[in-house]
Structure 1
Amino acid sequence: MRSDERWSPAPAGAVALGADEVHVWRASLRPSAAALARMEAHLDADERARAARFRFDEHRTAFVAGRGAQREILARYTGLPPAAHRYRTTAHGKPMLDGGMDELRFNVSNAGDLALCAVTLGREIGVDLEALKPMPDGIDIARRFFSAPENEVFAALPEHERDVAFFHCWTRQEAYIQAVGEGLSMPLDRFDVEFRAGHRARLLATRGDPDEAGRWTLRELHPGPGYVGALVVRGGGWTPRLFDFDAA
């Protein structure tokens, strides 16, 4: 996606989702007190217990706002009340809607004061969001987590480009891992992503199955100043639509 991508106000009421569309929602994790109370009422017993375990109010607020927004967004597609959604997880912990709604796929990511929720019909999907920050140890972390080809590119970058490049690489890796659904069990050296400035974001190569890279579409997201994001979706020929979630 271009750097001038536009996040539009969401339409009122139910949202139609075509098979050739991918919807990405941007939500604040710092809603008003009234909105936060409404969102907390949507949570199930397990989510409430998790929220209660947070030591700091800001972390609890972010968790409740993220889960509450997720439930309200999905309700736009399912027609169910937000509190009625039930979830199950894959073997590697990827959440899915339960109750015969497998066709509606979603993935979420939180960072700082923002959350992203990506939604598709029948396509595997992954999204990642990160807040930019200085990375004085970026080279060392890259050596641990980037593939050999990615490390070669990263080490050759001018020093002033490395912080942003690090997070572009990281979000693209994480979005792909989320889409595949293997979680932390998937070694990062099994694939390479393009993250150089001025180059289109894409999955460059996959080891073990060379054709795998061509089965996915990787796009860069621009969620707002100080953030970078990435979206990975199975297959091509889809159109992204970007919405701002209004907690009111």
Structure 2
Amino acid sequence: MRAGAGAYPGADSAAVVTAAAVDRIIARGEAHVWWWRCPERVDPADLALLETEEFRRALGMLAERDAAEFVRTRAGARRALGELLGIPPATARLGHRRCPGCGADDHGPPLLVRPALPLAISLSRTAGWGVFVVGAGLGIGVDAEALRPVRESLFAGSVLTAAERRHLEAMAPGPARHVAFHRVWTRKEAVVKAVGVGLVGTELDQLETHPDRDGPLRVTHHGIGSPTTWTVEDLRLSDHLAVALARAAGPAARGPVHLHPPTGP
């Protein structure tokens, strides 16, 4: 249902959603991406935007750097939603959908709970970086990995398809091959996050990412039920990151990807 001139259900008087903006995202099949550097210590301004359960999760992390990364990414997602939807960041509520793999209610892909809008979201964090994406469609996935040397055992491991392994083995050992592996890995993880099952339960050596192609390209996931097809593309956000975005193949994956450069907390 289109919003017309009013707000979508779930928007309260303190956080009126600009319905026209949401309609535009859906009609054009847009995706919006934000990314940022994370501090080494928890920022009180970030912590103030978190809900109780997120606060408890952060307290349970042994390393403050990990907690700061988690807190900044959750707070950054709310700031991004505020920018995109014209709502106070503190009013945004993040939850999760039921797990499509096992049906459990206590875990699953991320969900925008408030305001209740027909938009998909995904988050990723890695080595001091956070990435957040909002898009049209029922599923979306983003994965970011800090570029770093890869253990040689991974090139012969069970996470690669035969074609992916041949592609990497044809490359000389060194930085270029490490970058190529991260390209494969982020494409795989973006897809499984979009599907909603994560890495557990996915036969990664059957998930072909076609590393010889620049994309956008189609990747088929065979993990649960009928196969699903996803449009995957690499995003250039930083020279220090490999990032991939996965959207359900179809109109929702044909729209533009809008990059929102970091502006600070």
- TM-score strictly above 0.5: yes
Letter in 1 for 2:247: V
Give how far 1:208 is off. 8.3
In structure 2, the partner of 1:48 is 55
1:27 aligned to which of 30, 33, 36: 36
2:238 counterpart of 1:216: no
**Aligned equivalents of 1:140 and 1:216: distance in 2?**
25
In structure 2, the partner of 1:225 is 239
Q: Indicate conservation of the 8 Å contact 1:139/1:155, yes or no.
A: no
Give how far 1:181 is off. 1.1
Q: Which has the higher relative contact order, 1 or 2, with Cα contacts under 8 A spaced 6 or more apart? A: 1
- Two-structure CA RMSD over aligned residues (Å): 2.8
2:121 counterpart of 1:106: yes
2:75 counterpart of 1:58: no
1:237 aligned to which of 254, 257, 261: 254
**Aligned equivalents of 2:109 and 2:221: distance in 1?**
21
Higher fraction of helix: 1
In structure 1, the partner of 2:112 is 97
With over 3 angstroms needed to count, the CA separation of the structure-2 counterparts of 1:43 and 1:154, relative to structure 1, is: same
Q: Indicate conservation of the 8 Å contact 2:217/2:231, yes or no.
A: yes
**Aligned equivalents of 1:108 and 1:154: distance in 2?**
28
1:39 aligned to which of 46, 50, 65: 46
Secondary structure in 2 aligned to 1:185? Answer: coil
The structure 1 segments of at least 4 consecutive aligned residues displaced by more than 6 Å after TM superposition are: none
TM-score, normalisation: structure 2: 0.76
Letter in 2 for 1:68: A
TM-score, normalisation: structure 1: 0.80
With over 3 angstroms needed to count, the CA separation of the structure-2 counterparts of 1:151 and 1:64, relative to structure 1, is: same
**Aligned equivalents of 2:37 and 2:223: distance in 1?**
39
In structure 2, the partner of 1:122 is 137
2:151 counterpart of 1:151: no
Deviations 1:90-140 (A, max 9, x none): 3332110225624021101111221111111334211010011111x2344
With over 3 angstroms needed to count, the CA separation of the structure-2 counterparts of 1:141 and 1:89, relative to structure 1, is: farther
Q: Identity of counterpart residues, as a percentage?
A: 27
**Aligned equivalents of 2:257 and 2:21: distance in 1?**
13
Aligned residue runs from structure 1 range 168-179, under 5 A: 168-179=183-194
Secondary structure in 1 aligned to 2:157? Answer: helix
**Aligned equivalents of 1:138 and 1:71: distance in 2?**
38
Give how far 1:179 is off. 0.9
**Aligned equivalents of 2:161 and 2:54: distance in 1?**
36
**Aligned equivalents of 2:163 and 2:205: distance in 1?**
9
With over 3 angstroms needed to count, the CA separation of the structure-2 counterparts of 1:69 and 1:153, relative to structure 1, is: same
In structure 1, the partner of 2:205 is 189
Deviations 1:63-110 (A, max 9, x none): 111111111112234444323333332333211022562402110111
Give how far 1:151 is off. 1.9
* Unaligned segments of structure 1, at least 5 residues: 1-13
**Aligned equivalents of 1:140 and 1:237: distance in 2?**
33
**Aligned equivalents of 1:219 and 1:199: distance in 2?**
8
Q: Indicate conservation of the 8 Å contact 2:49/2:89, yes or no.
A: yes
Q: Indicate conservation of the 8 Å contact 2:203/2:223, yes or no.
A: no
